[in-house]
């Protein structure tokens, strides 16, 4: 079985119809899945990078605050 039979692909509200071999239809569907998945993952990765940057800045601010408190503590007389 080679899957070289043709399948009619119609785009419903539009009057277009294409005859494609089954294997080509499967390859096109796979490629579209890769593209859509890649776009979805790239948006998730960019969101994670933004979140990481924001949390990193927050950690730096808290570290500076702790250093400031330590310096104030050492400046006070015992």
3-state secondary structure of 13: coil
- pTM of the shown model: 0.61
pLDDT by 10-residue block (mean), the chain, 78 residues: 84 90 93 97 96 97 93 75
Half-sphere exposure of 50 (CA within 13 A, CB side): 6
What's the number of CA atoms in the CB half-sphere (13 Å) around residue 75?
6
Residue 1, in any domain of the structure: no
Which structural domain range is residue 22 located in?
Answer: 6-75
Assess if residue 55 is contained within a domain: yes
Enter the tokens of residue 68: 């400031």
Cα separation, 34 vs 49, whole angstroms: 22
pLDDT at residue number 34: 98
> What local confidence, expressed as pLDDT, does residue 7 receive?
92
Specify the number of domains making up the chain. Answer: 1
Does residue 20 belong to any structural domain of this protein? yes
Task: Judge whether 22 lies within some domain.
Answer: yes
What pLDDT, on the 0 to 100 scale, is given for residue 78? Answer: 60
35 inside domain: yes
Question: Strand locations in 1-78, DSSP E?
Answer: 6-11, 16-21
């Amino acid at each position: 079985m080679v899957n070289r039979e043709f399948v009619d692909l119609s785009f419903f509200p539009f009057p277009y119809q294409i005859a494609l071999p089954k294997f080509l239809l499967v390859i096109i569907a796979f490629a579209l899945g890769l593209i859509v998945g890649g776009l979805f993952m790239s948006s998730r990765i960019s969101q994670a990078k933004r979140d990481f940057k924001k949390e990193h800045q927050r950690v730096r601010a808290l570290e500076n605050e702790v250093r400031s408190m330590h310096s104030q503590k050492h400046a006070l007389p015992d």
